[in-house]
Structure 1
């Protein structure tokens, strides 16, 4: 069930025909961008999209239109404590991976239909955890630039720096520190390519510090659960750019083999093919979902 309360001031203009609302679930409300299939196009399914660390539902904006014209309703959400979805300021236990995975299962139940589940980066690991709890609400799982275990050593150093900084500075002060280090897209700030600096700042300030600290720790300590996932009876898709500093592309190649998954490498894209190359990314996604 969804409420009609609007989500205020989106970071970027929503996709054509999309509705901004709060998805009401048994575990609370989550800010959503919800794009229906246009009139005259046969519906083929529903997709639930989960953003990554420091990201938001807007990271998928450029995918909505090309996917809806292929017949897929797209629902992108902010997770608990991300941007426009509420969450505790300082209770890190609320953001344990198991809690976030249960949120995903509640979101799927609220949408009320079997879903194609998609997660980008951290969102992929949360999606994996949800599927390992209960795969029955899902028709498939797509992992975009989301690896088998913890992030690379260089990214662990950057995440640790952010976590340490959040422990002593406010979100506003951290934003100032990010800008002092360089453009946000170069130093691990909010996703690049979406909105002006003021909009990026508002999105950053919408994140709850406890959420960033807890999920940052998860990124640095996540165990390899590929063997567990491979035992789940779902179709899998591992998609990435041709270059990735967070998980090496060769590691994603190997994970796809272990999962017997479809593997897509999007030319000209890095860690966020959904933003770097949205049209070929959308085409690869829809082709996977269209397959028997």
Structure 2
């Protein structure tokens, strides 16, 4: 399993501890702990990445959280980043069902989160945010509060959604779930040009993350498989029911962005309206990855985060 990767402009935070986890079904997952840099911790923030992300992208976020007095833990989801793949092709990020991610969290909570100081909070992005919402619906999560950026409630401007869902389900049932989506390829956004990318308007942070991939290309995957998409559609279909959101009791702060082109802002707004204890912040001018954005966009996130998370010393 790969060690944490350092580049000149993205060093591994001091004191980092790498965890090599083993799931109930034998998969190997990579996780990390970053102890608080101060003497007294205000608690622990668990960082949960989105699809096709990796722990190293969040080193800057880790340092921001540690400056605020928190320990930080992070996980690479199964099938991507530094964790074991589900298929032989390492560029295929695959899952049969999103419930597998929830089961993987059990070992992460017991082996990585449990020893860290309480209270515990979650900071999750996109796919990771969707998994956190599913966790909060299915059980009582260990987190006091959750901050979610661009949660994957539905996809952006999906044409003929019913037909696309039917096609994904049909191809999956025909045994084609392990193939890339039609016209998909084994290349990540970070291996493409900055121009017109859907992740960030910040060329500096985009280039920083691209250099990580150049140094460690095994950290990224390509487009999702048909099976992954079908599993995501099944989860997002559950999000459509207002009662689903009403059953979530954890306080949640969600963020949408003005230049979103991956998930649906409208779906997020509708979902948040049905939550019991939630707020929604909109950040104009930002693309999908708010924490990888320009300083002025990130500053809006951190102001809201500091007001929402008790003990944050921003």
Which TM-score tier does this pair reach, normalised by the shorter chain? 0.7 to 0.9
| Residues 53 and 215 in structure 1, CA contact (< 8 A), matched pair in contact too | no
| Residues 43 and 120 in structure 2, CA contact (< 8 A), matched pair in contact too | yes
Higher helix share: 1
| Residues 19 and 34 in structure 1, CA contact (< 8 A), matched pair in contact too | yes
Cα deviation, residue 147, structure 1: 4.0
Question: TM-score normalised to the size of structure 2?
Answer: 0.71
Aligned match for 2:249, one of 233, 237, 240: 233
Aligned match for 2:21, one of 14, 24, 40: 24
> Relative to 1, partners in 2 of residues 1:280 and 1:200: Cα closer, same or farther, differing over 3 Å?
same
Cα deviation, residue 234, structure 1: 1.2
> Relative to 1, partners in 2 of residues 1:83 and 1:151: Cα closer, same or farther, differing over 3 Å?
same
Deviation per residue, 1:109-155 (Å, 9 max, x gap) = 2221663123211111122222223224222223210143344317x
Q: 3-state SS of the aligned residue for 1:223?
A: helix
Deviation per residue, 1:4-33 (Å, 9 max, x gap) = x87153577345325151253554543234
> Paired residues, what number?
277
CA RMSD in angstroms comes to 3.9
Aligned match for 1:134, one of 139, 152, 155: 139
Distance in 2, Cα, partners of 1:213 & 1:206: 21
Distance in 2, Cα, partners of 1:138 & 1:30: 21
Cross-structure match for 1:193? 206
Distance in 2, Cα, partners of 1:18 & 1:213: 39
Distance in 1, Cα, partners of 2:214 & 2:226: 18
Distance in 2, Cα, partners of 1:267 & 1:178: 23
Cross-structure match for 2:105? 104
Cα deviation, residue 178, structure 1: 9.2
Aligned match for 1:183, one of 183, 187, 193: 193
Cross-structure match for 2:38? 39
> Relative to 1, partners in 2 of residues 1:229 and 1:209: Cα closer, same or farther, differing over 3 Å?
same
Cross-structure match for 2:59? 61
User: What are the ranges of 5 or more consecutive residues in structure 2 without an aligned counterpart?
Assistant: 169-178
User: What are the ranges of 5 or more consecutive residues in structure 1 without an aligned counterpart?
Assistant: none
Distance in 1, Cα, partners of 2:223 & 2:266: 32
| Residues 125 and 146 in structure 1, CA contact (< 8 A), matched pair in contact too | yes
Which sits farther off after the overlay, 117-126 or 16-25? 16-25
Distance in 1, Cα, partners of 2:227 & 2:6: 25
